Amino acid sequence: MKNPWVILTVITVVLFGGAIVYSKTANEKNNQGVTVTDHVKGNLEATVTLTEYSDFQCPACASFQPVVAELMAQYGDKLRFEYKHFPLPIHNFAQQAAVAAEAASQQGKFFEFHDTLFSKQQEWSTSATPQVFFVQYAKELGLDVEKFKAHQNSSVLRDAVRASSNEARELGLTGTPTFFLNGERMQFETFEDFLRQIATAVDPTGASLGTTSASLAEPAVKFGL
């Protein structure tokens, strides 16, 4: 009679090896066609660049989304805006949301998904199953849902989000949103301060500052949370 321990060992090795092969195959499928790109809008050749390190589950970041949208509407031809991920550990679904946005980016809809995540933040962030809402948003944006689901499990996209977070930490960042204007970290206490600095960089004469600041209210949340 053969040693049962030998048989058990062989079965374990075969199963373990099969699991590795399956995992590798699934990972290759999820990474198929994936490319990592910067998320930039506005005038790509503009001399003024506004960079935001942000977290999709951060209330202050959600408050800033319409502010940035207003800035782009007014200064879009003179301003280059770049979004970077910095999901904070205190927000349990922020990492998943960032990867979902990257999955949408694979179909050319990063900023559309970005806007939806912020406008519907209260909906998905308070759910026990935010992935259900991410798939719903993908459908509403007309994405290929099966491809979106696969890319949500892409190791390449997860690594891209982690790399952006590591970059933020290396810069000494601890909260969101954090903005850089032409490579310099912005310091401000109010929306008015924030808008004035950008308006001055875009238009040193200050001719257009009043119309922008007058149309935006102060946030209901504190910055950097």
110 and 23 assigned to the same domain: no
The reported pTM is 0.83
Domain for residue 220, yes or no? Answer: no
What is the number of structural domains in the chain?
A: 2
Indicate the pLDDT class of residue 139, thresholds 50, 70 and 90.
very high
Q: Which pLDDT score, from 0 to 100, does residue 221 have? A: 47
10 and 83 assigned to the same domain: no
* pLDDT above 80 for 1: no
66 and 3 assigned to the same domain: no
Q: What is the extent of the structural domain holding 179?
A: 39-214
Lowest mean pLDDT among 39-43, 84-88, 141-145, 202-206: 202-206
152 and 197 assigned to the same domain: yes
Q: Across residues 101-128, what is the average pLDDT?
A: 98
CATH number, domain of 111, equals 3.40.30.10
Query: How many residues in the chain?
Result: 225
Indicate the pLDDT class of residue 19, thresholds 50, 70 and 90.
very low
Domain for residue 225, yes or no? Answer: no
